[in-house]
Amino acid sequence: MKTLEIPPPLQGAGGGADTPLTRLFGLLEAVAERDQPFTLQSMAAELGLPKPTVHRLLAQLEQAALLQRQGDARHYAAGLRLRRLAEKLMLNDSFNGARRMVLRSVVQELGESCNITALAGSEVVYLDRVETAAPLRFYLHPGSRVPVHCSASGKLMLAQMKPAQRRRLLGHVPLDAYTGATITDPGALEQELEQVREQGYALDREEFLPGLLCVAVSVPAEPGRLSNLCVAVQAPVMRLSPERAPQVLPALRRAAEALARIESDAMPRAQRA
């Protein structure tokens, strides 16, 4: 099986910043990946941080009951509070579970990878994704970010903005070329966005990654509100050409309606919380 794996690209503002908070979360991520207690020295080596820094972080997490020290006082492991946090997250994750089932149904129907995206600043972030089992695929992790101007989801979100809002956003975003097909001219991008508004869906024709075609539709929002969610299908151009792209729209639009219902059902609970 041949898989082209794309690491999370283009971390957004602060996404790759080295701050005390990101170091703290980085340490928690490392703890979550371990199945046995660890020492200060081993964790410092794994994270590539100075021992005094790791010692300070461990002390903060231990004080918050997120970590606990073992009997020998040298080894650390997940604390009761961290374990309970993980248990509660899994127990109450029906919202994301429901969204993932929608993505899986699209993948089963179309045989191609499907993802949910949202606009985050000047980038599009992958909220969730289900991969196809096909031998050739492009693997993009949830949390990956792509430029707004060369993604199908980004075009949809740009197209629904008022002109002044769009100019304000794009005025601070360089239209960099990622492939030979990337639209880098502002006038040409405006023409593309006008077509997106007319047809109700958007395409990424190998504009971010060579050989990858993407078709996206918006998830309907409540009346009077702009949608900040899209659902998209991605496939190698050898399996999905721009000419065949409209064939996936019925499945995508059914998925968009299902996701809209999930969002609507979840909103009252979030407001009550």
- DSSP per-residue codes, 100-166: HHHHHHHHHHHSSEEEEEEEETTEEEEEEEE---SSEEEEE-TT-EEEGGGSHHHHHHHHTS-HHHH
Predicted local confidence at residue 133, as pLDDT: 87
Q: Per-residue confidence at 12, pLDDT binned at 50, 70, 90? A: very low
- DSSP per-residue codes, 50-62: -HHHHHHHHHHHH
Q: Are 26 and 83 in the same domain?
A: yes
Q: Are 160 and 254 in the same domain?
A: yes
Predicted local confidence at residue 6, as pLDDT: 46
Distances (CA, A) of 160 to 14, 60, 144, 217, 251: 27, 45, 23, 12, 22
DSSP helix/strand/coil, 214: strand
Are the C-beta atoms of residues 193 and 158 closer than 8 Å to each other? yes
Predicted local confidence at residue 226, as pLDDT: 80
Q: Output the domain CATH number for residue 266.
A: 3.30.450.40
Predicted local confidence at residue 93, as pLDDT: 66
For 34, the domain range is 20-91
What does the pLDDT average to over 150-162? 94
Q: Are 171 and 76 in the same domain?
A: no
Q: Are 141 and 259 in the same domain?
A: yes
pLDDT in tens, 172-204: 888 999 999 999 999 999 999 999 999 999 999
Residue 169 within any structural domain of the chain = yes
pLDDT in tens, 24-65: 888 888 888 887 899 999 999 988 899 999 999 999 999 998
Closest CA to 96 of 263, 257, 216: 263
Q: Are 25 and 106 in the same domain?
A: no
Q: Are 154 and 252 in the same domain?
A: yes
Are the C-beta atoms of residues 241 and 265 closer than 8 Å to each other? no
Domain total in the chain = 2
Q: Are 126 and 254 in the same domain?
A: yes
Q: Is pTM beyond 0.85 here?
A: no
Q: CA–CA separation, 111 vs 171, rounded Å?
A: 38
